[in-house]
Amino acid sequence: MDAITRNNVKVRGRGTKPMLFAHGYGCDQNMWRYVTPAFEEDYQIILFDHVGFGGADTSVYTLDRYSSLQSYAVDILEICEELDLKDVIFVGHSVSAMIGVLAAIIDPDKFSKLVLIGPSPCYINDGEYEGGFTQESIDGLLNFLDSDYLKWASTMAPVIMGNPDRPHLGEELAQSFCRSNEEVAKDFARITFLSDNREDLANLKTESLIIQCSEDVIAPRVVGEYMHRHLPNSQLVVLNATGHCPNLSAPEETIAAIQTFLQQTPAVREKESSLNF
């Protein structure tokens, strides 16, 4: 099966320079609907779904094939190859931010810039490293997910989304979780929350922007700061937005951060390494 069919790839926009948007855990390409219109005039927009989510073809899924985040990075590279994409601007949310980092390490010539929204190289605290979770809390989260996925989805989605004053956002995320293939979602959660890609960060050569929310229970601000310290040629932007999904809860702020990054000259990038919005 070709990657375009497998990953339900959609191409739109009136520009020629490609921007490839990768959704986070339990989501699909619809989660970018408030962000991509701002770029359609000037860029070629590529949207897709990870296998097991959205409209992707789950029949190709096996745990042997999708045993690590690197496996999902290979899917992205296959999409780029089939569409003959070059100098791609990659925009990845949550776990897909790290998947994009891995893809750019494997084939750096494919990418010109990376935009990493709420990334985390490791979710578990380890010595002086603060990932936001203890091993025990991750084990409890995964056990809860394994035992009752639907209840986990309805319980955790509002926590992940944040913004309790706008409960419809948490409800949308919960519904997205519930539409996912349950077995794939369970496997992907384990791969995601047990991943440790800290040692990979130094190998990234592509220029990157880290977008961090001011409060985020999944990827706390200290994680964004860690990423910025360890990713060569990176910038860090801290949004006023809270929660883990600013592409839904604060699209205008997210768009502004991305646009500023894309429009900067090299001289400005050298001067401005960390910004606040």
- Three-state helix/strand/coil letters over the chain: CCHHHHCCCEEECCCCEEEEEECCCCCCHHHHCCCHHHCCCCEEEEECCCCCCCCCCHHHCCCCCCCCHHHHHHHHHHHHHHCCCCCEEEEEECHHHHHHHHHHHHCHHHEEEEEEECCCCECECECCECCCECHHHHHHHHHHHHHCHHHHHHHHHHHHHCCCCCHHHHHHHHHHHHHCCHHHHHHHHHHHHCCECHHHHHHCCCEEEEEEEEECCCCCHHHHHHHHHHCCCEEEEEEEEECCCHHHHCHHHHHHHHHHHHHCCHHHHHHCCEEEC
Q: What is the pLDDT of residues 121-150, one digit of tens each?
A: 999 999 999 999 999 999 999 999 999 999
In this prediction, residue 264 carries a pLDDT of: 81
Tokens representing 179 are 């539409």
**Distance between CA atoms of 99 and 116, rounded to whole angstroms?**
10
Out of 74-78, 94-98, 168-172, pick the least confident.
168-172
Domain limits, the chain: 3-120+197-276
In this prediction, residue 265 carries a pLDDT of: 60
On whether the 3-120+197-276 domain is CATH 3.40.50.1820, my answer is: yes
Q: What is the pLDDT of residues 198-216, one digit of tens each?
A: 999 999 999 999 999 999 9
pLDDT band of residue 22 (cuts 50, 70, 90) is very high
Q: How high is the mean pLDDT of the chain?
A: 93
Give me the helices (H) in 86-220, please: 95-106, 135-147, 149-161, 167-179, 182-193
Residue type, 208: S
Whether 46 has a pLDDT exceeding 50, the answer reads yes
The continuous run of DSSP H or E covering 213 comes out as strand 207-215
pLDDT > 70 fraction of the chain, expressed in percent and rounded: 95
Q: Tell me how far apart the 2 most distant CA atoms of the chain are, in Å.
A: 53
In this prediction, residue 266 carries a pLDDT of: 57
Q: Is 107 a catalytic residue?
A: no
Q: Which among 28, 49, 50, 94 is annotated as catalytic?
A: 94
Q: Is 94 a catalytic residue?
A: yes
In terms of Cα–Cα distance, which of 23, 25, 24 is closest to 152? 25
**Distance between CA atoms of 88 and 12, rounded to whole angstroms?**
15
In this prediction, residue 271 carries a pLDDT of: 39
pLDDT > 90 fraction of the chain, expressed in percent and rounded: 92
Q: Which among 216, 228, 234, 249 is annotated as catalytic?
A: 216
Average pLDDT on 89-118 reads 97
Q: Is 146 a catalytic residue?
A: no
In terms of Cα–Cα distance, which of 255, 245, 249 is closest to 277? 255
Q: How many CB atoms lie within 10 A of CB 211?
A: 27
Whether 184 has a pLDDT exceeding 50, the answer reads yes
pLDDT band of residue 178 (cuts 50, 70, 90) is confident
pTM of the model: 0.93
Whether 1 has a pLDDT exceeding 80, the answer reads no
In this prediction, residue 109 carries a pLDDT of: 94
Residue 261 DSSP SS3: helix
Q: What is the rounded end-to-end Cα distance, in angstroms, of the chain?
A: 43
In this prediction, residue 272 carries a pLDDT of: 46
Give the residues across from 92 on adjacent strands. 22, 116
In this prediction, residue 270 carries a pLDDT of: 47
Tokens representing 24 are 């986070």
Whether 26 has a pLDDT exceeding 60, the answer reads yes
